[in-house]
Amino acid sequence: MPNIFDILGKIKDILSQEVGERKVFDKDVAEALSINQISLATMKTRNKIPYKEVLEFCAKRKISINWLLFDQFAESVLSETEKYSKIHYFKDIYASAGGGGLSEDEGFESILLDEKIIQKIGGNTQVKHIQAINVMGDSMEPTLNSGDVVFINRELINPSKGGIYVVSTPAGLFIKRLQLRSDGTVALVSDNESYSDEIVLASNVDVLGKVVGKLSSSI
């Protein structure tokens, strides 16, 4: 399991190449990740990794997120090679709490994933269909937590196959399990038992893709 101290150490290594001779401190890391320094200190005590911010950091520098999660040498990820695949990460889009959309017109950043992660989320033949967005809210706990980054396959839109899907409805964007009903409606089902099923007309539900992987912010 990734450790926040290892990840912060690697980020400091990258920043040290950018700032030159001076020493890199936690405040520099916090600024690079656009996180309050106190919040970063709290995350360190809880070993909670700010995946969204780390993804943005990697995207801006064309660094594979895999380097921060697995112990690879920096030299192997500082340039784009055939070993890595690029996907679109919609850093400003949140699903589950409603609101937002998901299209190529939305702002996105490109992130690099290496073969270890690519194989886990469908393999090289599927990577062109993979996009990443953020989770907000607790309706899918314990499977998905608020702050998680999820990978969705835009080709997998048949809810009869089971699993968790990203759907667009008149009320916004949601991540739910789907149950097709004989009366022409769809039940949006939460994993958190505190939430009741939401019933929506099938004609008002646009299935955007299936969740095939995640980066979890939970401890």
Give average pLDDT by consecutive 10-residue segment, the chain, 219 residues: 82 84 88 91 88 84 70 46 70 61 61 74 81 90 89 91 91 92 94 93 94 76
Find out whether 150 and 213 touch, Cβ atoms under 8 Å: yes
CATH topology of domain 82-219: Umud Fragment, subunit A (2.10.109)
Tokens of 205: 């539900």
The CATH fold of domain 1-80: 434 Repressor (Amino-terminal Domain) (1.10.260)
Alpha carbon of 1 to those of 69, 119, 173, 190: distances in Å?
A: 8, 18, 30, 26
Edge-first strand order for the sheet with 164-169 is 109-114, 84-95, 130-135, 149-153, 206-215, 164-169, 172-180, 185-189, 198-201
Question: What's the burial of 78, exposed, middle or buried (CB within 10 Å: 0-12/13-18/19+)?
Answer: middle
Where are the domain boundaries for CATH 2.10.109.10 in the chain? 82-219
Residues forming CATH 1.10.260.40 domain(s) in the chain? 1-80
| pLDDT the model gives residue 80 | 45
pLDDT for 214: 86
Distance CA 48, CA 28 (A): 18
Task: Compute, in degrees rounded to 10, the torsion defined by CA atoms 68, 57, 77, 15.
Answer: -90
